[in-house]
Structure 1
Amino acid sequence: MLRTSLAKKIIREVKSFIKEDLIMVDTSGTIIASTDPARIGNYHEGAFIAASEKEMKIITQADEKVLEGVKAGITLPLFHQQRVVGVIGITGTPEKVLPYGELIKKMTELLIQENYYQDQFEWEARSLETFVFDWLLKDGPSSALQKRAEVLGVNMEVSRQVVLIEFQGDSTLLQPKRWNFSEQNIGLNEDDILVQWGHNRMILLLEKREKNILPFLERLRKILERLAVTSVFIGAGKDSTMSSVKESYLEAERALGVCNCDLPIVLEENLRLEMILQSIPKPIKEEFSGRILSQVLGEKELMDTIHVYLEKHSSLKETAAELHIHINTLHYRLKKFETLTNLNLKEVRDVTSLYLSLLFLDEHTK
């Protein structure tokens, strides 16, 4: 049966090709969409007959007097999968509108078919999203989950690597009906699974590759950036089995949290210090950086200086050159910084605390 929302959409689409009034009617004879809003909800006997007999019905001015709710014109039954799903009517002198009839009918049936396949795609996508969600975030694969995998054609036996893809802010690419990469050659294997994961993420359950996956991820990111017209970040976990895929997902989360514009792709296996930093709660990070830097947060000149000093690996000569200041001026600023923070920039412990506090500060001021 033809949905009202689709009928209205079809009227809008077809109206641009023809000046005559149009109606869309369901198989019971009720007008569900029309270029004349006053006719919506009325019974159309001619359309009911066309649907019942599965043939076009020409409605003359004489028919207007004997058939309920009709106007002169033609009504054409619409078929999908060899059954009548609705009727489209074109109002006007039959001789004038007949030439349009078959064209409008075919065009409308194509729109119905396109909508059907889109609905199927979205249903399959939602089913796959729910399946992946249950697989990753529940207690592990159950017999029920494995049965669902069979229905969806998912091979749970292969080794997989979870890859999280994040778009900078919301991406229109992820809106319904916008993303379908079947025509994009992005190098996915038959057993790879790609689904939407929230409002600005995708998740890819990648079948284990024999080669280094970094070139593949770099190529994937470039394709997605071109399609989405926004920055894309990718975090990848390690290879996993059917029962340990959740661990790979958590690793991908950790890797994605480290990504930035300078490092848009991160493999969890390459993380070092970040493994520890990612596990520290945000309030603790904020409190730590506050303890170290509270006395200098308002000193922009000192903060800029210390950033460059650490970037230049504590080289006084390179720091002074970068800041375009005399070496004595640099000594003065560093001494003032040490006094205000009670840090010794020659002590490894203090420099480590400073580095971490600046790192945490950058996180919660982004």
Structure 2
Amino acid sequence: MGENIVLNYELCKRILNRLTPIFNKDVNIIGTDGVIITSSNKKREGTYHEGARICASSNRNIVITKKNQHMYRGSKSGVNMPITYNNRVIGVIGITGTAEEVIPYGPLVKELVEMIINEMDSRIAKASKTNSRKEFFKDIIQDTDVKDMDYYISRAKLLEIDLEIPRRMIFLKILDSNQLDYQKIEILFRDIFNNEILNINNEKLVLLNSCNNVDEMIKKLLFELESNLDEKIKYYFIIGEECKSLVDYHNVYSSMSVIDSIIPKDTTEKVIYMRDYEIRLLINGLSTESKKVYLSKYINVFSEKNKATKELLRTIKVYFTNNMKISDTAKSMYMHRNTVMYRLNKFKDLYGLDLSQPYECAKLYLGILIYEDDLIKMNKDN
């Protein structure tokens, strides 16, 4: 609004709704052209008020009585006062009634109206700045070639954005979502997330978290979702790396978008860390031919005919991610350590691979990830 503020119907209606519970007199809000924009007396809306036009043009109060009423076309008894904003008359507030009744209230009503306009302008200015900040961050995370650093740095300074502050990027993805889901969640998060919330084409929310304790923040966000969303709505968070420089924003966003594309649709995980997908990001960059050549070494292991293989492979994955420690693997899988040992020995008997050897285990783990990546892509294509 700023210097070009105009009294449109919506703004005037909001002002009137604040005033009418306080005063039991008819109140009119009138444009500088003398046309009543809104009134507590609906019949007067859109009609001409000569007294208000003179009030606006002369920037002085006009008191209308029964004696002088004939001099002001379309006017009734009452007081009319100019509404000023930034030392400029932008409209007129009129109170209908006898001079004795309304003149004492005049200064108070004028002060209230101007206070409401300033308050609304402040909110709109704040909202405008918030939207500008959002557009800035959307641009730097989606710009595929951030070369004009000076341009972005200048924009950041104008918006009072400190790019020296590290911000951790967080994705929120809703499965089978609609626009309302993201809009509702964005509103829901505003009260507890005092950082940037970016709605990316109603396909995901990107949160830029500048506080240190990201795990605590995620707990709060999860609680809000569980408390306010239908339990049938499935979603997950992806926790990215910190963005410490301008170019980091696009790089982290791109990596997280790839991770998002390879997460299975049927995942039950609510919080996924980018660091746990670093090898998957590497795999995603391999050619189809390279993957095929690598998996050919383990053609028997990934045969669909072997029904026991899936459970064995899952055990091997957990075993490897637990630093090849049998006790930790058993704890993670809620089973006895002897069961883990039995499965690893069975795998050795079936395929001749000794998974107590770190190199053999690492190679097979990589093969499992490549195999799963292909399955995920096949399922998404279907």
Per the normalisation by structure 2, the TM-score is: 0.60
Deviations 1:31-58 (A, max 9, x none): 2223455544443232234335545432
Give the Cα–Cα distance (whole angstroms) in 2 for the partners of residues 163 and 248 of structure 1.
10
Per the alignment, residue 338 of structure 1 pairs with none
Residue aligning to 1:29: 34
Cα contact 2:134–2:196 (8 A) shared by 1: no
Q: Who is 1:335 aligned against?
A: none
Quote the Cα distance in structure 2 between the aligned partners of 1:118 and 1:229.
32
| 1:84 paired residue number | 89
Alpha-carbon displacement from aligned partner over 1:67-107 (angstroms, at most 9, x marks no partner)? 12211122233343454332121223344444654554344
1:293 corresponding residue in structure 2: none
Give the Å deviation of 1:116: 0.4
- Check conservation: 1:141, 1:242, Cα contact below 8 A: no
Shift of 1:134: 2.3
Q: Structure 1: which 5+ runs fail to align?
A: 281-306, 316-345
Counterparts of 1:157-306 in structure 2, within 5 Å, are: 157-166=164-173, 169-171=178-180, 174=183, 181=190, 184=191, 186=193, 193-199=196-202, 201-207=204-210, 209=212, 213-223=214-224, 233-240=236-243, 241-256=245-260, 258=263, 262-271=268-277, 275=281
Is 1:150 the counterpart of 2:151? The answer is no
Shift of residue 219 of structure 1?
Answer: 3.0
**1:2: which partner in 2?**
6
| C-alpha separation in 2, matches of 1:58 and 1:116 | 29
Deviation at 1:157, TM superposition (A): 4.2
**Counterpart for residue 354 of structure 2:** none
Aligned letter for 2:238? G
In structure 2, give the amino acid aligned to 1:242: L
Q: Tell me by how many angstroms 1:356 deviates.
A: 7.4
Where do 5+ consecutive residues of structure 2 fail to align?
A: 287-306, 316-349, 352-363
Aligned-residue offset at 1:251: 2.3
User: For 1:93, which of 80, 92, 98 is the aligned residue?
Assistant: 98
Matched residue count: 299
Does the 8 A contact of 1:252 with 1:267 survive in 2?
Answer: no
Distance 1:201 1:352 in 2: 25
Paired residue for 1:72? Answer: 77
Amino acid at match of 1:214: D
What is the letter of the counterpart of residue 243 of structure 1?
Answer: V
Conserved 8 A contact 1:237-1:252:
yes
Residues 144 and 224 (structure 1), Cα distance of their counterparts in 2 relative to 1, 3 Å cut: farther
Match of 1:105? 110
TM-score, L = length of structure 1: 0.62
Q: Please report how far the alpha carbon of residue 195 of structure 1 lies from its aligned counterpart in structure 2 after TM superposition.
A: 4.0
Quickly say closer, same or farther: Cα 1:147–1:110, change in 2 above 3 A.
same
3-state secondary structure, aligned to 2:66: coil
Deviation of residue 132 (structure 1)? Answer: 1.7
Distance, in Å, in 2 between the alignment partners of 1:51 and 1:173 is 45
| SS of residue paired to 1:271 | helix
2:208 partner SS: strand
Determine helix, strand or coil for the equivalent of 1:164.
Answer: strand
| RMSD over aligned Cα atoms | 4.5
1:123 counterpart residue number? 128
Task: Confirm or deny: 8 A CA contact 1:255 1:267 kept in the other structure.
Answer: no
CA distance in 1, matches of 2:220, 2:85: 40
Report which stretch shifted further, 51-60 or 131-140.
51-60
1:14 aligns with 19
Alignment-derived partner of residue 297 in structure 1: none
